[in-house]
Structure 1
Amino acid sequence: MDVRYLELLCELAERGSITGVARATHRTPSAVSQHLRSAERAFGVPLVEPAGRGVRLTDAGRVLADAGRDVAQSVARAQARWDDYRGQPAGRVTVAALPSAAAFLLPGVFRDLDGIPIQLRLTDLDIAEAQYAAQVVDHDIVIGHSLQPAVAGAAAVHTIELVREPLDIAMARGHRLASQPAVTAEDLADEEWIGVPTGYPFDTVRLAVETAVGRALRIAQRIRDNRLVEALVAGGDRVAVLPRFTTPIGEVVLRPLAGIATGRHVFAMLRPDRAERRAVQRVLDALLRVGASFANR
């Protein structure tokens, strides 16, 4: 049984298309298709079938793709034992992270890893909550967030909560509500908001306020970048939802929202095989330590 065929089928199961496999493995789509035909000849059964304009795995293909995952995890365990024998985790670890979480977690992680031969390679990803789990196909560790204590779409992914970060209501220092120690949904009902795109976790806070007051809020803009949100809030009378750990207190002030749970859960997500690597485990340990240092702020 050629392990390369199992790896190919596993890639197709995770990426969903020949084009996706070709891009990830630095091959042409025709080369991937040819390799799939060779796999079918080797196993003697159809492994893919037409599906719209693409292909999908047959039942036999799915069995072998699952076997490919098992092989990848066994290889990772062997690498972990070899790392133990050599005495120290080493190598490259790729991390894809939500920027607003990376901003308070990653500086401490780099300090924690100082002097250890692990090369950390960071990619910043600002995407919808439900899309983070899928990024484990291309990265060793993915850092995402959710307002729920579970990650959307992560059934086949290892998930570890790093920290729960409060989400506060941001306003200009001179705003009429800034003198209050906290604000309520009723305080905010008539305010104009700087929101985030639909599907992003912070939008859940807006929806909770709408539910509490029984009417829609006025959303002036929907913006992804927290720094831009801060600038717009500081320069006017609008309010927004911003994370407590990374929002600089200056022209913008933060006030907790009374009566509504507004914390976001920040998670690390990993493929089971990559979670076996000692270097990946060492980076995860550093993330957990840094996250714990923010837990009670």
Structure 2
Amino acid sequence: MAEWDLRKLRILRALDERGTVTATAEALHMTPSAVSQQLTNLARQLGVPLLQPQGRRVRLTDAARLVLRHADAVFEELERADATLAAYARGEAGEVRVGAFSTAVPALVVPAVRALRESCPRVSVRVRELEAAEAFESLADGEVEIALSLAAEAPTAADPRFTRFPLLSDPLDVALPPDHPLAGASALGLTDLAAEPWIFGGSGPWSDITRRACEAAGFSPHQAHSASDWTAILALVEAGMGVALVPRMAAARRDGVAMRELTSDRPVRHVVAALRKGSEQAPALANFLAALRSTAAESITRP
């Protein structure tokens, strides 16, 4: 295989453009003898003659023009590579892998991806829906580069593996059957619902959040039904089978359910993003994190 030397190929291309060795030397800040020597070495490396004398000048051989035809394609690809690397260095190209819990995907991740497409269309984002524990395992293992979770389920801020960023405090509203006596109450607190049948998951983060919120208000919720999917929970509420706490940022809503903001004992869940320590300097990741934080800051959720 021939030995290709990009610097010498650029000299050959400059000679084709300038027409003379002297003009080529001036353009490249070389001496004419250095230009001639480099082209002689290139001809030796490629095993074909590149120049023919033509009076006091030289002209390119057919072999040289064949070489340039392929060299131009190489230079074009190198220009594209330079542009791509420059965009990567600015965070305008690359890939970001995100692990997020279910309600964070439509409420935070998708709007952040849309915003990022406007400013950095060559950054691609791959999303995996994960529970909190899975998200941090995947983050630690390098399977994702940013994890969205609840602060209560995340490793502590002192964990040396991760850097945490608070995103937002998500209020929990109560879902009531539309004909519930308290559905139209002027004020509503968790203690008003102490005797109600409750609907929440049998285990996991949402079960813990519901239990903690009710216990902080002074009572232990009676779990009438166990469900973890928001569609299932709200369907049970709509059927008059109980009440449930629902995060404000949850995508699921039903017309047959009365969503009420709690005016006292108002529980919230704190949403955080986490990255591996030091990775926040990666340009594409930093740009996505900025879009995510902006989305969280601009998020206006209502019951």
Tell me the TM-score normalised to structure 2 length.
0.62
The structure 2 residue matched to 1:244, chosen from 238, 248, 254, is 248
Pick closer, same or farther for the CA change 1:94–1:130 going to 2, 3 Å.
closer
Pick closer, same or farther for the CA change 1:160–1:202 going to 2, 3 Å.
farther
Q: Which runs of 5+ in 2 are unaligned?
A: 1-84
Q: Is this contact kept in 1: 2:169–2:269, CA < 8 A?
A: yes
Q: Is this contact kept in 2: 1:173–1:251, CA < 8 A?
A: yes
> 1:152 corresponds to which letter in structure 2?
P
Pick closer, same or farther for the CA change 1:119–1:219 going to 2, 3 Å.
same
Structure 1 residue 275: Cα displacement: 1.9
> 1:269 corresponds to which letter in structure 2?
A
Identity of aligned residues (%): 29
Q: Is this contact kept in 1: 2:101–2:148, CA < 8 A?
A: yes
Q: Is this contact kept in 1: 2:91–2:282, CA < 8 A?
A: no
Structure-2 residue corresponding to 1:207: 212
1:95 aligned to 2:98? yes
Q: Is this contact kept in 1: 2:163–2:277, CA < 8 A?
A: yes
The structure 1 residue matched to 2:183, chosen from 167, 178, 187, is 178
Structure 1 residue 106: Cα displacement: 2.2
> 1:110 corresponds to which letter in structure 2?
V
Structure 1 residue 102: Cα displacement: 1.4
Q: Which runs of 5+ in 1 are unaligned?
A: 1-81
Q: Is this contact kept in 2: 1:165–1:245, CA < 8 A?
A: yes
Structure 1 residue 295: Cα displacement: 5.3
Q: Distance in 2 between the 1:209 and 1:260 partners?
A: 9
Q: Is this contact kept in 1: 2:183–2:260, CA < 8 A?
A: yes
Q: Is this contact kept in 2: 1:130–1:152, CA < 8 A?
A: no
Pick closer, same or farther for the CA change 1:295–1:189 going to 2, 3 Å.
same
Structure-1 residue corresponding to 2:224: 220
Structure 1 residue 183: Cα displacement: 2.0
Structure-2 residue corresponding to 1:253: 258
Structure 1 residue 296: Cα displacement: 7.1
Structure-2 residue corresponding to 1:120: 125
The structure 2 residue matched to 1:235, chosen from 225, 235, 239, is 239
Structure-2 residue corresponding to 1:163: 168
The structure 2 residue matched to 1:141, chosen from 129, 146, 152, is 146
| CA displacement 1:152-211 (0-9 Å, x = unmatched) | 345121111111111111112222211114422332111101112434156334333245
> 1:248 corresponds to which letter in structure 2?
R
Pick closer, same or farther for the CA change 1:279–1:164 going to 2, 3 Å.
same
Structure 1 residue 263: Cα displacement: 1.1
Say how many residue pairs are matched. Answer: 211
> 1:158 corresponds to which letter in structure 2?
T
Query: What CA RMSD, in Å, does the superposition of the two structures yield over aligned residues?
Result: 2.5
Q: Is this contact kept in 2: 1:167–1:244, CA < 8 A?
A: yes
Q: Distance in 2 between the 1:112 and 1:98 partners?
A: 20
SS in 1 for 2:97: strand
Q: Is this contact kept in 2: 1:181–1:255, CA < 8 A?
A: no
Q: Distance in 2 between the 1:273 and 1:136 partners?
A: 13
Larger radius of gyration: 2
